[in-house]
Amino acid sequence: MNDEAREASIAFAAPLMALTLGHVLSNAIRTLPAIAADRLGHDLGVTAGGLASLTGAYNLAFAAAQVPIGVALDRFGVRQTSLGLLAVTGIGAVLAALAGGAMGFLLAQIVLGLGCAGMLMCPVTYAAKRLSPARFGLWSGLIQALGNCGMLLSASPLALLVEAADWRAGYLACTALALLAITLVALLVRKEPPAGSTASLGADARAVLRLAASPALRGVVVLAFASFAAVIGLRGLWGGPWLMEAKGVSRLEAGNILLLATFALVIGPALWGIADRRLGHRRALLAIGHLGAAGFLALTALGGPGGPFGTLPPAWDAATLLGFFFLISAQPLAFAATRAAVPPEQAGKALSGVNLSFFAGAAVIQAASGPVVAGSGLAAGLLFLAAATAACTLGYLWLTR
């Protein structure tokens, strides 16, 4: 590589990594409750189902923000949008750390959901507007891989912090990460010229929804509805309680198992991106990944108390969760399919439309999992998530036949 090419590569990668740090932060924040669910419930005075509803507000606010974020990314640019969202996220993390009860924590979750809503869309849109559809598939996987390191932070490291201090310290640590991300984005990401759109904000907002409902994206939208819901339902809420209550392991042991399994979410997206570029057949890769993930999640539940195999040791959970997270990490290919379906100037709106489905599904399915767990137990909750993933994958195959 000559000096000019190397400089061009650094000029592209450095701002992209700064923007992706926001996605690291978002993943740490949304998965922190899983490792501190018992203490959160005790301190806030809520049941497991109540905690599911409180954390589900994050996903609902996240989904609601997708339309204005899609408009902002195309109209005002990535840098301005990212800085505003990071500031809101930092405020939300402080509110969570100071929450004195359920209503205060609910407000914090809403603010955090609004702030984190564009943390993936900012680096993805930055890359989509600068890369061909062929190259974007690989880079979208790399962005997701780096961003998923936030889930590593909320495994053993935050488990140790929660054990040594409390869950509030975890949110304060996220506040510090938000300040770091603001500094790096301000220094490394250049301000873009205004898009010069003559359409009204309302027309731009309708364009996001119209793109999401278009025949070209309809199948991806259906797949997305359960894809992230399964990940966040397990990693952000029920994974910790399953391991600590159903399998009887300590908080730190649960954190270690989740840490090991979450590594698959770090290496998986990049490997799926490489497979997509070398093999093609993106539709088949997405279907195989999601149906396989549903199967591994079902196996996790069936290895618990009352299951057909009896109560299997925690090593079973480590293996099946590893398989689940690796296979579900094919989901960034949904963004690659979205980018390939639209011109670059519509990338922000189209990607946000699909991301709207990712988080609307997370809000709906996670909230629905609360009554399932309350009525039938944690194993039923995991099976519910597996069934939703399989159903939406079959819907995707039908709509893209």
- The 3-class SS string of the chain reads CCHHHHHHHHHHHHHHHHHHHHHHHHHHHHHHHHHCHHHHHHHHCCCHHHHHHHHHHHHHHHHHCHHHHHHHHHHCCHHHHHHHHHHHHHHHHHHHHHCCCHHHHHHHHHHHHHHHCCCCHHHHHHHHCCCCHHHHHHHHHHHHHHHCHHHHHCCHHHHHHHHHCCHHHHHHHHHHHHHHHHHHHHHHCCCCCCCCCCCCHHHHHHHHHHHHHCHHHHHHHHHHHHHHHHHHHHHHHHHHHHHHHHCCCCHHHHHHHHHHHHHHHHHHHHHHHHHHHHHCCHHHHHHHHHHHHHHHHHHHHHCCCCCCCCCCCHHHHHHHHHHHHHHHCCCHHHHHHHHHHCCHHHHHHHHHHHHHHHHHHHHHHHHHHHHHHHHHCHHHHHHHHHHHHHHHHHHHHHHCC
Q: What is the pLDDT of residue 292?
A: 97
Which pTM does this prediction carry?
0.73
Q: What is the mean pLDDT of the chain?
A: 84
Residue of 83, 72, 90 whose CA lies nearest to 29? 90
Cα–Cα distance list, 99 to 38, 50, 103, 238 (Å): 16, 16, 8, 22
Q: Which of 356, 336, 286, 358 is nearest to 124 (CA)?
A: 336
Specify the higher pLDDT residue, 397 or 54. Answer: 397
Nearest to 69 by CA among 89, 52, 55, 95: 89
**For residue range 290-346, what is the model confidence (pLDDT) as tens digits?**
999 999 999 999 998 888 887 889 899 999 999 999 999 998 888 888 888 777 777
Cβ 356 vs Cβ 210: under 8 Å: no
pLDDT at 53 over 70: yes
What's the CA gap between 286 and 308, in Å, rounded?
30
pLDDT tens readout for residues 112-154:
999 998 898 899 888 887 777 667 777 777 887 788 777 777 6
Q: Tell me the per-residue pLDDT of 335-377, one tens digit each, with 9 for 90 and over.
A: 888 888 777 777 777 877 887 888 788 878 888 888 898 888 8
In the chain, the amino acid numbered 299 is L
Q: What is the mean pLDDT of residues 73-96?
A: 92
CA gap 73, 205 in Å, rounded: 12
Rounded CA-CA distance 215/218 in Å is 5
- Rounded to whole angstroms, the Cα distance separating 175 from 42 reads 23
Query: Which domains are present in the chain?
Result: 8-186+200-399 (1.20.1250.20)
Please state, in angstroms and rounded to a whole number, the distance separating the CA atoms of residues 93 and 303: 36
pLDDT at 196 over 60: no
